[in-house]
Every structure is written in C-alpha cells, then in structure tokens.
Amino acid sequence: MQELLPDNGSVRKLWLGETEAYASHLLRLDNESRRRRFSGAMSDELIRRHAASATGLGTVVHGFFVDGVLRGSAELRVYQPGEAEAAFSIELPWQSHGVGSALLERTLLSARNRGVKRLRMHCLADNQRMQQLARKFAADLHFDFGSVIGEVDPPRSTALSLTREIMEDAHGVAHAIFEAQARLMKSA
Ligand SMILES: CC(C)(COP(=O)(O)OP(=O)(O)OC[C@H]1O[C@@H](n2cnc3c(N)ncnc32)[C@H](O)[C@@H]1OP(=O)(O)O)[C@@H](O)C(=O)NCCC(=O)NCCS
C-alpha cells in the first residue's frame, strides 16, 4: 500500500491545524512550479489565503512529507455534488520521483469515495509533466485538452474502496507518530 517514495517520504492527509505548513509549502515552490500550480501568477498573500481556505468539509489535501516537512500536496475540492477540482504541487527537488503519481492515486480514491463523477484538473498547455502524469491514469481519466486536462468518471465507491481509504488514513497517522518519536529520540 505504501509506495517507495524519495527520501523515505510518506503520504498522508493534512490534519486540521496544518494550514501554516500547507502555506509554507506552497510559498516554497519555485516561480515556475507556482505558476503551474495556480495556472498563472499568484501573490504570497493570496497563497496564504488559499491555504487557509483549504480546511472546509469538501476539501481533502494529501501531503507528501519528508522528515516531518510538507514537500508536496494534492488538493481535492468538491465544489458541488459530483463535481470537484484537483491541483498538485511538488517542490522542485522532489519532482519526477513518482510523488505526483502517488498523490494522484490517493486523490482519485478520495474523489471516488466522495461520489465525485467529474474531476477537473486545470493545466497550462505547456505542462507536459502534468499531462504525462494524467496519461498514466488514462483508465480513469478522459482527456479534454484545453485549459482542463481531464475529467474522471470513477465508478461508485465500494466497501473495498472505502476500507482502502480508511486503512491509508490509519497508516498515515501511525507513520506520522512513529516519525515524530524517531526525530525526538535522535535529537535527545
Ligand atoms: C506536475 C507534477 C504534479 C508531477 O508530479 P511528479 O512527482 O513530478 O511526477 P511523477 O514523478 O509522478 O511523474 C509522472 C509522469 O510524468 C512523466 N515525467 C516525469 N518527469 C518528467 C519530465 N521532466 N518531463 C516530462 N515528463 C516527465 C513521466 O511519464 C512520469 O511517469 P513515469 O513515472 O511512469 O515515468 C509536479 O511535477 C509539480 O508539482 N509540478 C509543479 C506544479 C504543477 O505543474 N502542478 C500541476 C498543475 S495543478
């Protein structure tokens, strides 16, 4: 279930109270990645507000953590029943190491379990890596090139897909506690 990720990193959902960590990650993106993540220019202040708004019931953010620091994220926002938007950001040193693939897989599972029928991912036309990433999930994604890269029509959630998400959440919590304790012991 847990993929081999760079630097022994791990993926789990962000918890309430991690808004600051989310904002810091988004602010650390290099200019090009920031432009691609938000499909255009975005000021620091707007990024802080964006991160603060990602705590609502219809929003799920998966994070990629290395040594307790958030280095990648996938944000799923359900904006009306059956419809959602997803956006991804990986800090430059961790790009092209499979993190985006791991995050997209988790996001598709969460979308499915929330009854999302149409998932949009805005993508600049020159963003080949994101297009390549979406192509890897061609079984789930239907392409519509333009500003929208794909639409997903996942089958309904099943007991198995719900169990998978619950188990991944439990694993994420256990891993985070283990890591925090290991860091404490190292620094003692
Ligand atoms: C786009 C992004 C999310 C992709 O995540 P990633 O972790 O870099 O991607 P992965 O390593 O999982 O690679 C996915 C696929 O992209 C392709 N790919 C990887 N590196 C590539 C590169 N440098 N150029 C072109 N394609 C590339 C590969 O086909 C890869 O599939 P493979 O692992 O089967 O070979 C990430 O690079 C990113 O955050 N970029 C900046 C922000 C952004 O563009 N967000 C998307 C808009 S919402």
Q: Which CATH number fits the domain that encloses residue 163?
A: 3.40.630.30
| 99 assigned to some structural domain | yes
CA of 130 to the centre of ligand 1 (A): 5
**Domain assignment of residue 4, yes or no:** no
Residuewise pLDDT in 10s, the chain (188 residues) = 556 898 889 999 999 899 999 999 999 999 999 999 999 999 999 999 999 999 888 999 999 999 999 999 999 999 999 889 999 999 999 999 999 999 999 999 999 899 888 888 888 888 889 888 888 887 677 666 555 556 666 667 888 888 998 898 888 888 888 888 887 787 77
Calculate how far, in angstroms, residue 131's C-alpha sits from the geometric centre of ligand 1: 8
Residue 30 included in any domain: yes
| 166 occurs within a structural domain | yes
Mutate to test the pocket of ligand 1, among 66, 96, 105 (most ligand atoms within 8 A of CB): 96
Of 10, 14, 39, 40, the C-alpha closest to 25 is: 14
Does residue 94 form part of some domain? Answer: yes
Structurally, the chain folds into a number of domains equal to 1
Instruction: Residue 53: name the closest of 103, 102, 87, 10 by CA.
Output: 87
Ligand 1 mean position, distance from CA 47 (Å): 22
The atom number, within ligand 1, closest to the CA of 96 reads 11
Contact (CB, 8 A) for 61 and 12: no
Rounded (5°) CA angle 46-37-175:
95
Tell me the residue range of the domain where 71 lies: 9-187
Q: Which residues contact 92 (CB under 8 A, 6 or more apart)?
A: 29, 30, 33
In a domain, 51, yes or no: yes
Within-domain flag for 72: yes
